[in-house]
Amino acid sequence: MTQEQPDHAGTGGEPHQVAGDGRPVLTTQQGTPVADDQNSLTVGARGPTAIEDQHFREKIFHFDHERIPERVVHARGFGAHGHFETYESLSDLTRADLFQRPGERTEVFVRFSTVAGNKGSMDLARDVRGFATKFYTKEGNWDLVGNNIPVFFIQDAIKFPDVIHAVKPEPDRGFPQAQSAHDNFWDFVSLTPETVHMLLWIMSDRAIPRSFRFMEGFGVHTFRLVDHDGASSFVKFHWKPLAGLQSVLWEEALKINGADPDFHRRDLWDAIREGDPPSWELGLQVFDEDFAEQFPFDVLDATKLVPEEDVPVRRVGRLVLDRVVDNFFAETEQVAFHTGNVVDGIDFTDDPLLQGRNFSYLDTQLKRLGGPNFTHIPVNAPKCPVHLFQQDGHMAMRNPTGRANYEPNSWEGEEAGPREDPERGFTSYPEHVEGPKVRQRSETFADHYSQARQFWISQTAVEQDHIVGAFTFELGKCDEARIRERMVSHLRHVHEDLATGVADGLGMSALPDPADAARAPRDDLAASPALSILANGPDSFAGRRLGILVTDGVDHDLLHALRSAFTDEGATVMVVAPSVQGVTDSDGDEVDVDEAVQGGPSVLFDAVALLPSGDGAAALADQPPARQFVADAVAHHKYVGVGPDATALLGAAGVAVEDHDALMPLGPGDVEDFLAATRNLRAWPSD
């Protein structure tokens, strides 16, 4: 790896070349060519190391300091570059510059993340996903620091350390890692009923997305838009994935975490590198004070959402992620988001969670990036002109020239430096506020169950089963019966079917009494179809993965027909075989193999096809990973194309063809039908 030094760091010019092979000479940080990078300087070949070995000293010194503190939350993440294109002028709603001109493109950097796990944890933890977007607008950076779930656990930022401590590893033992399935988490949330709505989301399949590309994003809080006349409306921000919504099953998540702990980051990396850039539409839910007044919940309460059926989502632009990072550390690790980074025309509300966040992010950047100059790091630097009088500090890269480092000043010309601009400058919405200084939760935040119930009744039967299964799994990891019971006492306010299902799953002999409710839950909120994943799935297999299990003797024509049909659909086709060495097809042609069956379990694919030869099927039938490949695909309700000679393998996997709708015959004439079926992604048992 070569680090090109900027010209001002030295004399510039060509790096030293090694005569003969044309590669740059290895140097120290000071630019001194290195003669030997294999041996440290010692007194005699077996003697002590000399302290004057500056090359050794510098190399180890740098290595010792390679890490910066990981994020206290959202430590594990993955980022990519792209652009946002505004569809139409929104000048009637906001004066924010990026929304003024149709077709305007704004560069963006997006970082997706999990919340609870450390930097090295696995991607498929049951968790909320961060969806943070930095818009490098012409009038400064705007950070929309959102999640893939539209509500949050708590209403007041002062409880954030508590909810995060509770979910993170228990402090005495340092585990469990990246899991909410433990006593501390459920102890805290069951004592904090405002978490119940979010718990429904977290226990749903939203918390185990198939990949970042197939999940929604939400700004969560109510923000303000302010127009050219200073008039303001409320807004909720949404990201709608153009590829549709998709999640995995919990059982799959457990296995994916073992088979490919980097499943989500690899997916994003591959999609972009293979020329299939993920995209989302930015949606706005805009409403006014009158709507906020008559809405049954407080729009400043981040544990509530505004149903799309009440305020439709207006799609105003498109986000496309089409460039992977050059260097993970420099970009994904060092990117610094901050809810406080808004541009003129976008403003805050008094949501107490948002207000607390506005304090937290700058504070955390100082700790993590080590000084006040982190906007000098390229990924954080605005792409518009920056002129200011701030100076010095650790690692200052952008240093003012000239004489004036203060204003007002009476210097002339360039020496005078920049000046404020009352017309163009950021102007806060002049909200009128008054009241006594109190520590008091507003009465309007008191309903903790009604929207949780609305979420529950908006799910399909399959999704409701998954929610019951998730609560049962998680509470089953709690040792304390009183915590399990306390939690079920809240679920009784959400829906009796949910409470009963979980209580049965946990083997409770009787349902606990319902918890005391601060406000009686409502049961008159209509179902909101927008809240279901299955109701908002894709209508294509594009962007998904087909895994084809083959052996020597695989039918040449069938393999090619399958590959081209799925590739034309925009899907990725991967070949799985007994070994990675490759196989020979029925025409004697070599077929490249992507994964050996031990390393490519079917949980890594969205649909599978079984195309072994007769002999191959018999051989695979003796291999546990091959049997598991088939059994898992069937158990996970994936479409399985069964080639003409695959029967022996099915039998060995314990699968009876007639019992499963998802098993489809896959002969030469069946490719189109198989492809059409896979567009549904799964054949749920109730279908």
Q: Which residues are catalytic?
A: 74, 147
Instruction: Say which DSSP state 655 is in.
Output: -
> Strand pairing partners for 583?
591
Mark 260-299 with x for binding to ligand HDE (rule: CB under 6 A) and - for no binding. Answer: ----------------------------------------
CB of 73 to ligand HDE, least distance (A): 5
CB of 358 to ligand HDE, least distance (A): 9
Using CB under 6 A, which of 152, 280, 449, 629 touches ligand HDE?
152
Using CB under 6 A, which of 116, 125, 145, 609 touches ligand HDE?
145
When asked if residue 77 is in the footprint of ligand HDE (CB under 6 A), the reply is: yes
> Strand pairing partners for 324?
80
**Of 81-89, 195-203, 244-252, 359-367, which segment contacts ligand HDE by CB under 6 A?**
359-367
When asked if residue 353 is in the footprint of ligand HDE (CB under 6 A), the reply is: yes
Q: Closer to ligand HDE at the Cβ: 146 or 501?
A: 146
- CB contact set of 234 (below 8 Å; sequence gap of 6+): 222, 223, 224, 225, 286, 287, 288, 289, 291, 292, 299, 349
CB of 145 to ligand HDE, least distance (A): 5
- Exposure class string for 342-364: b at 16+ Cβ within 10 A, else e: bbbbbbbbebbbbbbbbebbeeb
**Of 178-186, 350-358, 455-463, 565-573, which segment contacts ligand HDE by CB under 6 A?**
350-358
- Exposure class string for 157-181: b at 16+ Cβ within 10 A, else e: bebbeebbebbbbeeeeeebebbbb
Q: Closer to ligand HDE at the Cβ: 161 or 312?
A: 161
Angle between helices 352-369 and 160-167 (to 10 degrees): 60
The structure tokens listed for 330 are 């420099």
Instruction: Say which DSSP state 119 is in.
Output: T
Whole-angstrom distance, CA of residue 483 vs CA of residue 480? 5
Whole-angstrom distance, CA of residue 398 vs CA of residue 407? 19
**Of 145-153, 172-180, 471-479, 583-591, which segment contacts ligand HDE by CB under 6 A?**
145-153
Q: Closer to ligand HDE at the Cβ: 72 or 462?
A: 72
Q: Closer to ligand HDE at the Cβ: 356 or 644?
A: 356
The structure tokens listed for 6 are 């900027």
Whole-angstrom distance, CA of residue 107 vs CA of residue 533? 29
CB of 453 to ligand HDE, least distance (A): 22
CA dihedral of residues 511, 513, 519, 524 (deg, nearest 10)? 40
Q: Are 538 and 243 a contacting pair, CB within 8 Å?
A: yes
- Exposure class string for 188-217: b at 16+ Cβ within 10 A, else e: bbbebbbbbbbbbbbbbbbbbbbbbbbbbb
- Exposure class string for 508-547: b at 16+ Cβ within 10 A, else e: beebbebbeeeeebeeebeebebbbbbeebbebbbbbbbb
When asked if residue 369 is in the footprint of ligand HDE (CB under 6 A), the reply is: no
The amino acid present at 607, given as its one-letter code, is: A
- Put residue 621 in one of left, alpha, beta given phi > 0 → left and psi -120 to 50 → alpha: alpha
Q: Closer to ligand HDE at the Cβ: 445 or 629?
A: 445
Angle between helices 263-273 and 250-259 (to 10 degrees): 80
CB of 156 to ligand HDE, least distance (A): 8
Backbone φ and ψ of 477, nearest 5°: -90, 0
CB of 532 to ligand HDE, least distance (A): 21
Whole-angstrom distance, CA of residue 147 vs CA of residue 169? 22
Using CB under 6 A, which of 118, 360, 409, 427 touches ligand HDE?
360
Q: Closer to ligand HDE at the Cβ: 152 or 605?
A: 152
CB of 109 to ligand HDE, least distance (A): 10
Q: Closer to ligand HDE at the Cβ: 111 or 636?
A: 111
Tallying the residues shown for the chain, one arrives at 687
The structure tokens listed for 574 are 């991967």
When asked if residue 116 is in the footprint of ligand HDE (CB under 6 A), the reply is: no
Q: Closer to ligand HDE at the Cβ: 200 or 575?
A: 200
Indicate the residue whose CB is closest to ligand HDE: 130
Using CB under 6 A, which of 95, 111, 210, 660 touches ligand HDE?
111
Q: Closer to ligand HDE at the Cβ: 114 or 551?
A: 114
When asked if residue 106 is in the footprint of ligand HDE (CB under 6 A), the reply is: no
109 to 73, 350, 523: CA distances (angstroms): 19, 27, 42
When asked if residue 72 is in the footprint of ligand HDE (CB under 6 A), the reply is: yes
The structure tokens listed for 61 are 């010194």
When asked if residue 160 is in the footprint of ligand HDE (CB under 6 A), the reply is: yes
When asked if residue 217 is in the footprint of ligand HDE (CB under 6 A), the reply is: no
When asked if residue 377 is in the footprint of ligand HDE (CB under 6 A), the reply is: no
Using CB under 6 A, which of 24, 261, 340, 356 touches ligand HDE?
356
Using CB under 6 A, which of 361, 429, 473, 684 touches ligand HDE?
361
Q: Are 271 and 543 a contacting pair, CB within 8 Å?
A: yes
When asked if residue 132 is in the footprint of ligand HDE (CB under 6 A), the reply is: yes
Whole-angstrom distance, CA of residue 311 vs CA of residue 251? 36
* Integer-rounded Cα radius of gyration of the chain: 29
Instruction: Say which DSSP state 329 is in.
Output: I
**Of 73-81, 429-437, 500-508, 612-620, which segment contacts ligand HDE by CB under 6 A?**
73-81
CB of 151 to ligand HDE, least distance (A): 9
Kindly determine how many residues on this chain lie close enough to bind ligand HDE according to the rule CB under 6 A. 25
When asked if residue 600 is in the footprint of ligand HDE (CB under 6 A), the reply is: no
Q: Closer to ligand HDE at the Cβ: 145 or 559?
A: 145
When asked if residue 201 is in the footprint of ligand HDE (CB under 6 A), the reply is: no
CB of 345 to ligand HDE, least distance (A): 20
Class of residue 235 by CB neighbours under 10 A (exposed 0-12, middle 13-18, buried 19+): buried
Q: Closer to ligand HDE at the Cβ: 353 or 630?
A: 353
**Of 119-127, 146-154, 540-548, 588-596, which segment contacts ligand HDE by CB under 6 A?**
146-154
When asked if residue 357 is in the footprint of ligand HDE (CB under 6 A), the reply is: yes
CB of 364 to ligand HDE, least distance (A): 4
Using CB under 6 A, which of 55, 114, 125, 130 touches ligand HDE?
130
The amino acid present at 651, given as its one-letter code, is: G
When asked if residue 324 is in the footprint of ligand HDE (CB under 6 A), the reply is: no
The structure tokens listed for 685 are 């048992």
CB of 117 to ligand HDE, least distance (A): 13
When asked if residue 220 is in the footprint of ligand HDE (CB under 6 A), the reply is: yes
When asked if residue 157 is in the footprint of ligand HDE (CB under 6 A), the reply is: yes
CB of 514 to ligand HDE, least distance (A): 28
The amino acid present at 582, given as its one-letter code, is: G
Tell me which residues touch ligand HDE (CB under 6 A): 71-74, 77, 111, 113, 130, 132, 145-147, 152, 157, 160, 220, 302, 335, 337, 353, 356-357, 360-361, 364
